[in-house]
Amino acid sequence: MRLGKRSLAEKFCAKCGDLMSRIGKQKIEITPGTEIAINGRVVLVKGSKGSLTCEVLPGVSVSTANGYITVSVKPDMVNSDAFWGLHRALIANMVKGVTEGFERRLELEGVGYRVKGDKKKIELSIGFSHPVVYNASDGVDFEVLDNKAIVIRGIDKQLVGLVASKIRSMRVPEPYKGKGIHYVGEVVRRKPGKAGKA
């Protein structure tokens, strides 16, 4: 049987695999003051801001030498290129997180919309009958700016992003006036308002 042209999905997966394998091959620099401990499949990263651990999948190995971390995968591992790049990215984020940290910023837009609080709890007035209270997860801190913006900080990039997403989902920007909670720099697609009757 003659094989036809590869489907778009196959081509897309092949391109993704190539990209992720290129990412996986890149070594991760161990920044000054960072400690790396590898115990079997468990990787521990310590820095000035704290420590993070992750467990890599079977078939993935992590090693250190000459101030760099190297991630490798067994060639017979299913989706090896994708997991190679994924693990490399996760460990690189751990190194950055324990030394520099991560943050996401949210803004409130709307008449009467405001936020107040401290490092561990915020109270949002976003158009409901009562303020919404949100407590910070362990490993995350808040900063409120001018009662109109929230900075979410932490060493775990995934957790910071998850908390920001949850807060945004409380009042997703509506498409007519943009009223709601949005990421700083986010472009909210607007729809034209309905025309009044003649």
Q: What is the mean pLDDT of each run of 10 residues along the chain (198 residues)?
A: 42 49 84 95 97 94 95 83 88 97 97 96 96 96 97 98 97 88 86 57
Task: Give the CA angle between residues 54, 58, 59 to the nearest 5°.
Answer: 115
Residues 106 and 143 placed together within one structural domain of the fold: yes
According to DSSP, the β-strands at 68-73 and 60-65 are: antiparallel
Query: Distance between CA 56 and CA 87 in Å, rounded?
Result: 7
In contact, 58 and 122? CB cutoff 8 Å: no
Which of the listed residues 72, 99, 126 is the one where a domain comes to its end? 99
Residues 106 and 157 placed together within one structural domain of the fold: yes
pTM above 0.75, yes or no: yes
Query: Distance between CA 57 and CA 74 in Å, rounded?
Result: 11
pLDDT given for residue 51 in this prediction: 98
Q: Which has the closest alpha carbon to 85: 28, 36, 19?
A: 19
How many independent structural domains does the chain possess? 2
51 domain-assigned: yes
Domain assignment of residue 61, given as a range:
9-99
25 domain-assigned: yes
pLDDT given for residue 7 in this prediction: 46
Task: Give the CA angle between residues 155, 126, 154 to the nearest 5°.
Answer: 5
Residues 140 and 174 placed together within one structural domain of the fold: yes
Which of the listed residues 99, 131, 154 is the one where a domain comes to its end? 99
Enumerate long-range contacts of 81-85, CB under 8 Å, 24 or more apart: 81/16, 81/17, 81/18, 81/20, 81/21, 81/24, 82/16, 82/17, 82/20, 83/57, 83/59, 84/20, 84/21, 84/23, 84/24, 84/25, 84/60, 85/19, 85/20, 85/21, 85/22, 85/23, 85/24
pLDDT given for residue 13 in this prediction: 44
What residues have CB less than 8 Å from 38, skipping those under 6 apart?
A: 44, 62, 63, 64
Residue owning tokens 């984020």: 93
> Which residues, listed in sequence order, are joined to residue 165 by a DSSP beta bridge?
none
Give the number of other Cβ atoms within 10 Å of residue 114's Cβ.
15
The CATH number of the domain holding residue 16 is 3.90.930.12
pLDDT given for residue 19 in this prediction: 54
Q: Which has the closest alpha carbon to 147: 120, 181, 124?
A: 124
